Amino acid sequence: MIYFIRHGQTDWNKAGRLQGRTNNPLNETGIKQVTNTRESLEKLGVKFDLCFSSPLVRAVQTAKGVYDGEVFLDNRLLERDFGDAEGATGTWAQYMDFYTPPNDRKTYNSESVEEFQARIYSFYEEIKKKHADRTVLVVAHGGVAFISRGYFKKDFNGDHSHFPDMQNGEILIFDTV
């Protein structure tokens, strides 16, 4: 079983900025979200065998706030590199346009959706091979959540538009079978 948590809020999340690889820490709200997420997991009685996190500080802070053991950092869990678009503000629909065909080509000196998807899928293939019988915590980013949903639902065709926005601190649960 895999529990996926999107990192807590940062100032750029609050401002509606496209964050990508920009390495921003959690803000006060984000720290509270992490505490709430931990409490929710404790109420459910969830115990993790392993924890993997994006190496960006906002994800690491979230992972360490939720999990007491060793956190393994994996570059495959980095948010998509949005290149020249990082820091831009826009609506959710505009962000989805950046992810949705025919706009999934490499633009703004950014990582393409195909490159992004390949590294996330690689991560999950390894987890399924090595840890299928374990309860694994994965802490990463909104874009990684989109790709993760597609991977586990086995219906990802490059179109993110049918996936709703994942809130900071939100938990998704995926079965590795």
Q: Which residues of the chain have pLDDT under 70?
A: 91-107, 155-164
| Structural contact between residues 171 and 5, judged by C-beta atoms closer than 8 angstroms | yes
Let me know if 7 is a catalytic residue: yes
Residue 80 belongs to domain spanning? 2-174
CATH of the domain at 41: 3.40.50.1240
| Structural contact between residues 10 and 30, judged by C-beta atoms closer than 8 angstroms | yes
For the entire predicted model, the pTM comes to: 0.91
Domain count, the chain: 1
Q: Name the active-site residue from 7, 86, 141, 160.
A: 7
Task: Quote the pLDDT of residue 169.
Answer: 95
* Residue 113: φ, ψ to 5°: -60, -35
Task: Quote the pLDDT of residue 36.
Answer: 98
Q: Name the active-site residue from 28, 42, 70, 79.
A: 79
Task: Quote the pLDDT of residue 65.
Answer: 98
Task: Quote the pLDDT of residue 106.
Answer: 63
Let me know if 126 is a catalytic residue: no
Task: Quote the pLDDT of residue 97.
Answer: 63
